[in-house]
Amino acid sequence: MKENKFFSVLLKGLILFTLIYVSFPLNSECLERTVYVVNSLSNTVSVISTDTNTVVATIPVGSYPRRVAFTPDGSKAYVTNYNSNTISVIDVSTHTIIATVPVGDSPYGLAVSPDGSLVYVANNSEPWDTGRPYDSVSVIDTATNTVISMFPWGSFGPSGVAFTPDGKKVWISGPCVNCIQVLNVPDNTVFATIHGVIGEGERIEFLPDGSFAFVSNSCGCCGNLQKISTESNSVVWTHWFGGGGMGLAIAPDGSAIYVGNAVCGVEIGQVKKIDPSSGSVIGTLDVGKRPAFPQGIALSSDGSLLYVALSTAPGQLLVVNTSSLEIITSITVGNQPMDVALSPPIPVKNVHIDIKPGSFPNSINPNSKGKIPVAILSSSTFDAPSQVDKTSLTFGRTGDEQSLAFCNPNGEDVNGDGLLDLICHFETQKTGFQSGDTQGVLKGKTVDGTPIKGTDSVKIVSQ
């Protein structure tokens, strides 16, 4: 029996040695992204892991949220709360609200400047309220999360907001009928007014080189997609939907436009893939009948996946292959999602972990009332006991499970390399392991805020 245990530990040591010194460089980094879905009738934001296509967190926000936008570094997300007249500011690393910013009446669309310093908010209200203009634009300083400017926007309220890729101008729908106004940033002086916009310009997106903008207009049964030249500030062409225009996204290389629409009469929700040069339809995906309308659309950074938020109750987030326009999976979220956005790629430091140090295989009984020890291993460039923020650690089948019980106060060398490692313990029943799982995932942050992630093998057993 002792001999078997000896060889078991020896085998695990050899595997661990191979993992650390052969398979992975000690300071390797990967990129992790999350999807935020704004659920207007649930007053929440659903957080989806792109690794597992599962909801890993649900964030309560204000009343009737409408839009969400990330800062370029992926550290924060801003959500408009239409009925609360506020913006919720979310810490993306913890998926928690860190500030609530009062703005104008009925905030709708918003955009973050390319340098991440400013957020422009379109306040699209109806009644006058305590001296504030019923249609206005609020400007938020992201460093302080305070409104530094607010100016009126005529009587035809703003809906869509978008910065040009160079950040020198911001496009905002309105303030006149069927128009978009272009402002200089940061002085907010008018640079141009674009006429001939057929609708309210709810969604505005630019080609990567900034040469053209595309605008999705709801406009009831006259919904359309318009291409606008940023050089001449004039409409180039209009593609008619025969129904309301909805979500909008542009392929990272500018090769295709993806736009949602609801076909009038038959009330069918569709996603169309459109050639940006000619405006011709490349492909169409029917996503369902009313109320399954594609209100929000977002793309993966490589353009291979499309995320489509359907405004059902409960809502659905479709993951779609952009080449075939086939649905890969559907994820249930909150009620009536109105927007979806992907966080920018966030660098994640790979750390090496040892689940149940000294044993192999790492057998786990999900029904156990005990705890699972996990060692975070140090290296010549990484001191786990001093560099890991212990309070940030999560562990389980996806790595997002809030299962931490405690960490040992002192380090311990578990793999015999002469370096002290950090051992933490996690509540087994909170790890979410299921029959058939073969991997455990640990996530967290360093004390300086760098995300970390580590994996090790597991074997699920039952009593």
pLDDT at 13 over 60: no
pLDDT at 15 over 80: no
pLDDT at 10 over 90: no
Does residue 308 share a domain with residue 235? yes
Point out the domain boundary residue: 320, 344, 368.
344
442 token code pair: 């640990």
Cα–Cα distance measured from residue 213 to residue 211, given in angstroms and rounded to the nearest whole number: 7
- Give the type of residue at 439: Q
Average pLDDT in the chain: 90
Does residue 418 share a domain with residue 286? no
Does residue 283 share a domain with residue 138? yes
CATH number of 168's domain = 2.130.10.10
pLDDT at 432 over 60: yes
Q: Which residues, in sequence order, are CB contacts of 229 under 8 Å at separation 6+?
A: 211, 212, 236
Q: Is the dihedral of CA 276, 281, 282, 287 positive or negative?
A: positive
pLDDT in tens, 338-380: 999 999 887 889 999 999 999 989 999 999 999 999 999 999 9
Does residue 228 share a domain with residue 85? yes
Does residue 428 share a domain with residue 395? yes
Point out the domain boundary residue: 305, 324, 344.
344
pLDDT at 24 over 90: no
ω into 186 cis (within 30 of 0):
yes
pLDDT in tens, 71-93: 999 989 999 999 999 999 999 98
- State the pLDDT at residue 21: 36
Does residue 403 share a domain with residue 301? no
Please state whether beta strands 459-460 and 363-364 pair in parallel, antiparallel, or not at all (unpaired): parallel
Cα–Cα distance measured from residue 456 to residue 443, given in angstroms and rounded to the nearest whole number: 12
Give SS3 for 352: coil
- State the pLDDT at residue 463: 59
Does residue 257 share a domain with residue 386? no
Percent of the chain, pLDDT > 70?
Answer: 91
- Tell me which DSSP letter residue 377 carries: P
ω into 291 cis (within 30 of 0):
yes
Does residue 317 share a domain with residue 455? no
Nearest in space to 67 (alpha carbons), one of 132, 124, 127, 150: 124
pLDDT in tens, 204-260: 999 999 999 999 998 878 899 999 999 999 999 999 998 888 999 999 999 999 999
118 token code pair: 């400013």
E-assigned strand segments in 218-256: 224-229, 234-240, 243-250
Point out the domain boundary residue: 307, 322, 344.
344
Does residue 369 share a domain with residue 450? yes
Binned at pLDDT 50, 70 and 90, residue 14 comes out as very low
Nearest in space to 39 (alpha carbons), one of 311, 233, 244: 311
Determine contact, residues 204/222, Cβ cutoff 8 Å. no
- State the pLDDT at residue 245: 87
Nearest in space to 390 (alpha carbons), one of 347, 353, 443: 443
Question: Which of 2-6, 20-24, 254-258, 276-280 has the weakest average pLDDT?
Answer: 20-24
pLDDT at 11 over 60: no
What total of structural domains would you count in the chain?
2
Does residue 19 share a domain with residue 50? no
Which position has the token pair 């040009």?
164
Does residue 17 share a domain with residue 69? no
425 token code pair: 């313990």
- State the pLDDT at residue 258: 98
CATH number of 386's domain = 2.60.40
- Tell me which DSSP letter residue 22 carries: I
Tell me the mean pLDDT in the region 407-429: 97
Nearest in space to 258 (alpha carbons), one of 302, 208, 320: 320
Binned at pLDDT 50, 70 and 90, residue 155 comes out as confident
Give SS3 for 82: coil
Tell me the mean pLDDT in the region 136-147: 97
- State the pLDDT at residue 425: 98
- Give the type of residue at 445: K
Does residue 38 share a domain with residue 23? no
Task: Give me the domain span that covers residue 358.
Answer: 2-29+349-460
Distances 90 to 38, 75, 262, 340, 412 between C-alpha atoms, Å: 12, 8, 31, 15, 36
- State the pLDDT at residue 450: 85
